[in-house]
Structure 1
Amino acid sequence: MTMVPAKEGVSMSYQIPVLTPVNYSVWAVKVKSIMDAYGLWETVEPRNLGEEPDLKKKKQALAFLFQAIPEEMVLQMSDYTDPKRVWEGLKTRYLGVERVRTARLATLKRELESLRMKEGETVDDFAAKLSGLASKARSLGHELEEVDLVKRLLDSMPKSFLQIVASIEQCFELDTMLFDEAVGRLKAYEERIKGSEKMEDIHGGLYLSREEKSDGCMH
C-alpha cells in the first residue's frame, strides 16, 4: 500500500513497510521518516513537552501504524487508541527480540568463520553444513551473498584440495561463480582423487601378489 501526500502541487508516494520478525530496526527508521513527512510523528513524540497531539492526527497515525504491522498483531493491539502506546509496545517487544537475534547471528557468523572441511569429510556433506548455517543466518535477517558463500567454501577446503582451489581461483571469476558450480567442481576433483586412490590400491595389491608368489608366501 502507498500513501501520497501532496504539497504545493507536487506529490510523492511512500510505500508503507510492513513489520516482520527480523526487520524491526530498519522498519522503525522508515516508518518514523514517513510519519514525519506526513506530520504524524508528533503524535508519538510531541514537539513540545506536555503538548497534546491533534485528535485527527492521532487517528491518522494509528491507522498508519495498523497498516504497517502484521494482521495478527493488529488484533493484539486493537484496544490501543494512542499511537504512542502502539509504538512503545512494538519497541519493547521487538528490541528484546532484536537483542536475541543479534546474539544468535553473531554466534552463527563465528561458526561460519571457523568452519573447516575435515580430511575424510565429503564435499557434499560439508556443502550441506555450510548451506545450513547460511540458511539460519538468512532467517535472522543476514543474507549471505553468493560470492561470500563461494569464497567461504574455497577457504574452508583441506590441504588435499589446495590444488583445485588454486586452479578455480586462477581460472574463474569468483564474483560471478555460483555456489552450486563451485561445489560441482570440487566434487569432480574429489571423484578423481578417489579414483586415483582406488587405482593405487589395485596396483599395490597386484604388486604385493607378485611379491608373495616369488617368495612362496601364498596363503
Structure 2
Amino acid sequence: MNCRIAKEAWDKLKLEYQGSDRTKQMKLLNLKRDFKSLTMQEDETITKYSDRIALIVNKIRSLGEEFSDARIMEMVLVTLPERFESKISFLEESKDLSQISLAELMNALQAQEQRRALRQKNVTEDSYNAWLIDSGCTHHMCHNATIFKDLDKTYNSTVKVGNGGYMDVKGKSTIAIKTNSDNQCIIFNPYGEKLLCMKMKSNSFAINCENAIKYAYAGVTQSVLDI
C-alpha cells in the first residue's frame, strides 16, 4: 500500500474493509433487516440472545452508523418471551425505563432467569422423590431407588396406571419415614405388601383417582394413617 499521507491510507483501508458507498449501504440495509427480525427463542438464555444482538449491532456500528442503546433496549423489550413479562412490568412501574442503561436491563433480566432456573432445579429434585399411585390405589410407587430399605430387585411385575398404560416394576421394599417425634415407621400398601419401585421415563403422568383410598398403612404398628 503506497500512500503518501495518512488520509490516503485511511481511505484505502475503508474501501478494502467497508467497500464502496453502495456496498456499505447494502451491508447496512441487510444488517438492519437482521436486527429488526431478531426475536428471543423460548429455549434461549438472555446471555445468548444478548450476544446475538451485540454481534449485529457491532457490525452496524463498524460501518459508521450511529446505533443508540435506547434503540436496542426498545427492541429487547418487545421481543422477549412471555416469561419475562412480569419483570418488565415491575421495571415499568418502579423505574423510568428511559433512565435505565442497557447493561442494567440485561443484568436484571439475567438475575430473574437465574432465579427461575434455581426454582426449577428445586422442583425437579422434589419431583424425583415424589410418590405415585396406580389407578386402583393398590400400589405406592417411586422411581428413586435410594429411599428404599433392602430393595428386592428380584421382584418383577407390571402396574397399570391411570392413562391406561403399563409400567415395569423393578423391585419392592419397605420405606422408613420419620414421625414428628423423630421415630421411624415402615410403610406397606393396604394389603401388607411391600412398596414398589419402578423405572420411569418422566416425573409425572395422568392417573385415575375415581376409586382412590385415602389411607396408607404403617407396617410397624399396623395402624392406619389418614393422608
* TM-score between the two structures when normalised by the length of structure 1: 0.54
CA distance in 2, matches of 1:132, 1:70: 29
In structure 2, runs of 5+ residues without a counterpart are 134-139, 143-187, 190-194, 199-227
SS at match of 2:96: coil
User: How far apart are residue 139 of structure 1 and its match?
Assistant: 0.9
Aligned positions of 1:174-213 closer than 5 A: 174-208=97-131, 211-212=140-141
User: How far apart are residue 174 of structure 1 and its match?
Assistant: 2.0
Q: Once the two structures are superposed, what CA deviation does each residue of 1:89-140 show, in whole Å capped at 9, x if it has no partner?
A: xxxx9xx711111111111111111101111111111101111111111011
Q: Of 72, 76, 79, which residue of structure 1 is paired with 2:9?
A: 72
Moved more, 159-168 or 122-131: 159-168
- Residue 217 of structure 1 is matched in structure 2 by 196
User: How far apart are residue 71 of structure 1 and its match?
Assistant: 3.8
CA distance in 1, matches of 2:10, 2:120: 60
Structure 1 contact 123–187 (Cα < 8 Å) conserved: yes
CA distance in 2, matches of 1:73, 1:144: 23
Aligned positions of 1:113-152 closer than 5 A: 113-152=36-75
CA distance in 2, matches of 1:143, 1:217: 66
CA distance in 1, matches of 2:21, 2:53: 24
- Residue 163 of structure 1 is matched in structure 2 by 86
**Counting helix residues as a fraction of each chain, which structure ranks higher?**
1
Q: State percent identity of aligned pairs.
A: 22
CA distance in 2, matches of 1:175, 1:139: 25
**Counting strand residues as a fraction of each chain, which structure ranks higher?**
2
Q: Which amino acid aligns with 2:97?
A: L
CA distance in 2, matches of 1:104, 1:71: 23
> How many residue pairs were aligned?
135
Q: Which amino acid aligns with 2:43?
A: G
* TM-score between the two structures when normalised by the length of structure 2: 0.52
Aligned-CA RMSD value: 2.9
